[in-house]
Amino acid sequence: MKNIYRLSVTILFVTFITGCKKADVQINGKDTATHRSNFRVIGYLPLHSIENGLGVNFDFSRINYLNIAFINPNQNANFTVTSALSNVVFAAHAKNTKVLISIGGGSAPAYYSSLLSDTLRSTLINNLVKLVADNNLDGIDVDLEGERIDNNYEAFVTGLSTALKSKNKLLTSAVATAYMSKYTDSALAVYDFINIMSYDKTGQ
């Protein structure tokens, strides 16, 4: 879709962190730390790896950005966060790695449609900004897919962008090629950068 291909695509090296010991997590190629200024290296840490305490063992110097996947609100747009999150944020920041919360995911709750509506959108945005501030985070990563990308998606991300950028925080997104026709130019334009889930193109 022309909306996506108009973007200036930055080379991304995305790694999934499983919460294993440092030696168990490998990134192919030259030492990433020496190339941090040339690439955006993004790691996704599953929430369960924070809850079980293993995620803090990862060598965060290997990545630029850490996305916590996923922390979603309840149907009233309220968030519950594990106290163990602060340990991971502290460890990542010690290596100059930015930490973002990813919302949504491939199995995001169906009630996101209600959360993005006029009735709850402002509440969701305000609670996301509070989530970032309360947990010393660097921003929000939006990974809404399929039916969650509805007619309210653009209004949601533009409003969230305004709120976050007023606090000097980041707004990023993971977009799937399978849903390229659903994204508007205006929605894509508000993101600081975008991760393209190209593996969806190959069916993997």
* CATH code of residue 171: 3.20.20.80
Q: Residue 145's pLDDT band (boundaries 50, 70, 90)?
A: very high
Number of domains in the chain: 1
Per DSSP bridges, beta strands 40-46 and 12-16 are parallel
Is residue 17 within 8 Å of 58, Cβ to Cβ?
yes
Asked if the bond preceding 193 is cis, omega within 30° of 0, the reply is no
What is the pLDDT averaged over residues 157-177? 97
What is the pLDDT averaged over residues 181-189? 97
Query: Where would I find the beta strands (DSSP E) of the chain?
Result: 12-16, 40-46, 65-69, 98-104, 139-143, 170-176, 193-197
Is residue 39 within 8 Å of 6, Cβ to Cβ?
no
pTM across the whole model: 0.83
Of the candidates 146, 145, 141, 131, the one whose C-alpha atom is nearest the C-alpha of residue 69 is 141
* Helix, strand or coil, per DSSP, at residue 67: strand
pLDDT at 164 exceeding the cut of 70: yes
Distance CA 106, CA 22 (A): 27
Is residue 173 within 8 Å of 159, Cβ to Cβ?
no
Strand order in 139-143's β-sheet?
A: 12-16, 40-46, 65-69, 98-104, 139-143, 170-176, 193-197
Q: Residue 204's pLDDT band (boundaries 50, 70, 90)?
A: low
In this structure, what token pair is assigned to residue 168? 């000097």
**pLDDT at site 200:** 56
pLDDT at 81 exceeding the cut of 80: yes
Cα–Cα separations (whole angstroms), residue 182 to 110, 111, 156: 17, 19, 14
Token pair 């449609």: residue: 113
Q: Tell me the β-bridge partners of 46.
A: 69
Give the model confidence (pLDDT) of 33-75 as tens digits: 444 557 899 999 999 999 999 999 999 999 999 999 999 999 9
Is residue 24 within 8 Å of 55, Cβ to Cβ?
no
Give the model confidence (pLDDT) of 86-111 as tens digits: 999 999 999 999 999 999 999 999 99
**pLDDT at site 37:** 59
Distance CA 4, CA 181 (A): 9
Domain span at 189: 2-202
pLDDT at 171 exceeding the cut of 60: yes
* Average pLDDT of every residue of the chain: 85
